[in-house]
A and B are shown apart, each in its own frame.
Chain A
């Protein structure tokens, strides 16, 4: 492996190049900041968006039906916590920025009446469009360059260090502010678009002292064809389900049937030809499965399975304020890396709200990070000489002697055994959570002490070790929070507490590494009134 290190300085460093990271970088650049964007994969293909075709929610100025409908629609599934004014702010900000996309030349489709339709962003086209815009605006992109740890200066985020996977070269960016845009965590469950979403940014931020909110609302499982990994739920608006014998199963009962080990089949038999055409020509990524393996999903029953999407399309994540600042000075978070409780409550966030949130949160964080960098870090000129401390621990700097048995693969498999089995995790129990947490606490200690890339490690080994540590940490924040919420609410399902408890209308904050903590926080005022 090469020993050379790329040293850069920037007003704002963005870690993660999915849509939220791209919008953060664009907003910071437009506010006058110098910007480096470091992405684990390739900006344009990495993360949940590029393999998908994503719904986008926004408001239309002066259209009351549209605006109130969009906002009100979120209230019932949210089961509390949603803040209407906040939802409206997110959708309004999205409208402003889709207008920017129009000026930049985005080729919006038109509906039958000739109006442009902005309710959808086709993943690969959208991400390559943003990549080109980033380059045009002068953002420095580091592809295939995962961040391994944050740098701090007196407790203030001051940059990050990482590795370039293709060469093994190290990189270090000193920055006046840092934006975490690393997405959620799906525990390598096999969902298309989530393979490199392993909670890396959560671990980086938690090591600096950042906290989380709503990690118990991470019970997001999604349907996929039995041998496929694409979890697009929209087609099932037109679907019917049945068991192996053909006995109908109502849509809401499908997850429990699968968790009980029953075989479930789907068929999209409720779509008329007009809509079928819309599905096929709107979501080709779904139909490539049937096209290549044979069968017509609009006529033939096909077996389905549930895959865990973790925090990617769920609600929980890093706790941020209205400017998307975390509890660590100089550290911001955007998109799926953050909690989305004020936007979607206890319900799933993807796609419409989540795609809007990437645009709005990215914009707000990019602006706020630029202001922070100017005010507190004296700009890029003052950054290079500032004494900084690298703060990465588990998986990077073992606390004791490295244990060759403690490989990234073994640690990852051990986490998956706790968090992926459908029968134990679709509906959790207090006893099951406690037992899993005890095993995960032991795994964390072992990983902290002994997980390290082996001698002669490839860059891939280095990255995998750090990802494995992030997976363990994320599973513990999820389960510790899930243990404290003794009710069923939205994406949080307890077999031992099947009802919603109005007395638990509070947020659960969490954090910590060696000692995971969970505490209650009051919900937003408007959420109580709702």
Chain B
């Protein structure tokens, strides 16, 4: 679930509230995001992905996570880690071209793995 909005990083662009699929985030009068309905957070990390400045943290736990500690997460390099793994930057898609998922499909039992190995068009 969404646990942190790092206000010192937030630039109040409103993107996280705009892209949240179920209205968990709203913006206040100053344009800063607030967690309005945490119970509706589905732990999809998409707000993190679209955030241009890594100002959000979603715990992978689907229940509220009392262990979340901003300083420790920053020190461990975990803020924005999903975005970096995918290759997105500044809220823009990137990294699809280096997706290695074909290796998983190759591992299917034959002849399916063989089909995928040669399946390029």
Smallest distance from the beta carbon of B105 to chain A beta carbons, Å?
5
Q: Which residues of A contact B61 (CB under 8 A)?
A: 227-228, 293
Q: Give the total of A residues in contact with B, Cβ under 8 Å.
A: 75
Q: In the complex where A47-B21, A53-B101, A192-B43 touch, is A292 in contact with B121 (Cβ < 8 A)?
A: no
Closest 10 CB pairs of A and B: A115-B120, A278-B103, A282-B101, A284-B85, A41-B21, A195-B42, A51-B44, A289-B60, A120-B101, A281-B100
Chain A CB within 8 A of B97 CB: yes
Mark each residue of chain B from 15 to 51: 1 if its CB lies under 8 Å from any CB of chain A, else 0: 0001111110000000000000100101111100110
On whether the beta carbons of A70 and B115 are closer than 8 Å, the reply is yes
B18, B63, B82, B111: the one contacting A42 at CB < 8 Å is: B18
Chain B CB within 8 A of A363 CB: no
Q: Within B102-120, which residues are at the interface with A (CB < 8 Å)?
A: 102-108, 111-112, 114-120
Chain B CB within 8 A of A69 CB: yes
Chain A CB within 10 Å — which of B61, B95, B97, B100 has the most? B100
Chain A CB within 8 A of B99 CB: yes
Q: In the complex where A115-B120, A118-B121, A193-B42 touch, is A69 in contact with B101 (Cβ < 8 A)?
A: no
Q: Which residues of A contact B105 (CB under 8 A)?
A: 55, 119-120
Chain A CB within 10 Å — which of B45, B49, B61, B119 has the most? B119
CA distance A279 to B102 in the complex (A): 9
Smallest distance from the beta carbon of B45 to chain A beta carbons, Å?
7
Segment from A124-132, A250-258, A367-375 that makes contact with B: A124-132
Q: Provide the main secondary structure of the chain B interface.
A: loop
On whether the beta carbons of A45 and B19 are closer than 8 Å, the reply is yes
Q: Which residues of B contact A274 (CB under 8 A)?
A: 103
Smallest distance from the beta carbon of B2 to chain A beta carbons, Å?
13
Q: Which residues of B contact A504 (CB under 8 A)?
A: none
Smallest distance from the beta carbon of B47 to chain A beta carbons, Å?
8
Q: Can you give 5 A-B contacts (C-beta < 8 A)?
A: A55-B101, A106-B96, A107-B97, A120-B101, A287-B85
On whether the beta carbons of B43 and A278 are closer than 8 Å, the reply is no
On whether the beta carbons of B108 and A122 are closer than 8 Å, the reply is no
Q: Which residues of A contact B20 (CB under 8 A)?
A: 41-42, 45
On whether the beta carbons of A228 and B60 are closer than 8 Å, the reply is yes
On whether the beta carbons of B119 and A119 are closer than 8 Å, the reply is yes
CA distance A65 to B111 in the complex (A): 9
Q: Which residues of B contact A122 (CB under 8 A)?
A: 86, 95-96, 99, 101
Q: In the complex where A119-B101, A196-B21, A278-B102 touch, is A50 in contact with B44 (Cβ < 8 A)?
A: yes
Q: Which residues of B contact A41 (CB under 8 A)?
A: 20-23
Q: In the complex where A45-B44, A282-B99, A282-B104 touch, is A288 in contact with B60 (Cβ < 8 A)?
A: yes
On whether the beta carbons of B44 and A193 are closer than 8 Å, the reply is yes
On whether the beta carbons of B82 and A285 are closer than 8 Å, the reply is yes
B23, B45, B102, B106: the one contacting A51 at CB < 8 Å is: B45
CA distance A144 to B20 in the complex (A): 9
Smallest distance from the beta carbon of A133 to chain B beta carbons, Å?
13
Q: Which residues of A contact B98 (CB under 8 A)?
A: 109, 281
Instruction: Return the chain A residue nearest B62 by Cβ.
Output: A229
On whether the beta carbons of A124 and B93 are closer than 8 Å, the reply is yes
Q: Which residues of B contact A284 (CB under 8 A)?
A: 82, 85-86
Chain B CB within 8 A of A116 CB: yes
Smallest distance from the beta carbon of B6 to chain A beta carbons, Å?
16
On whether the beta carbons of B78 and A283 are closer than 8 Å, the reply is no
Q: Which residues of B contact A98 (CB under 8 A)?
A: 121
On whether the beta carbons of B100 and A109 are closer than 8 Å, the reply is yes
Chain B CB within 8 A of A95 CB: yes
B46, B112, B120: the one contacting A69 at CB < 8 Å is: B112
Chain B CB within 8 A of A445 CB: no
On whether the beta carbons of B23 and A53 are closer than 8 Å, the reply is no
On whether the beta carbons of B60 and A165 are closer than 8 Å, the reply is no
Q: Within A218-274, which residues are at the interface with B (CB < 8 Å)?
A: 225, 227-230, 234-235, 237-238, 271, 274
CA distance A73 to B116 in the complex (A): 13
Smallest distance from the beta carbon of A253 to chain B beta carbons, Å?
19
Instruction: Return the chain B residue nearest A190 by Cβ.
Output: B62
CA distance A166 to B20 in the complex (A): 12
A107, A125, A192: the one contacting B42 at CB < 8 Å is: A192
Mark each residue of chain A from 57 to 76: 1 if its CB lies under 8 Å from any CB of chain B, else 0: 00010010110011001000
Mark each residue of chain A from 192 to 222: 1 if its CB lies under 8 Å from any CB of chain B, else 0: 1111100000000000000000000000000
CA distance A192 to B42 in the complex (A): 5
Chain A CB within 10 Å — which of B46, B82, B121 has the most? B121
CA distance A287 to B115 in the complex (A): 27
On whether the beta carbons of B96 and A109 are closer than 8 Å, the reply is yes
On whether the beta carbons of B96 and A51 are closer than 8 Å, the reply is no
A50, A118, A119, A166: the one contacting B21 at CB < 8 Å is: A50
CA distance A24 to B3 in the complex (A): 36
Q: Which residues of A contact B88 (CB under 8 A)?
A: 124
Instruction: Return the chain B residue nearest A53 by Cβ.
Output: B101
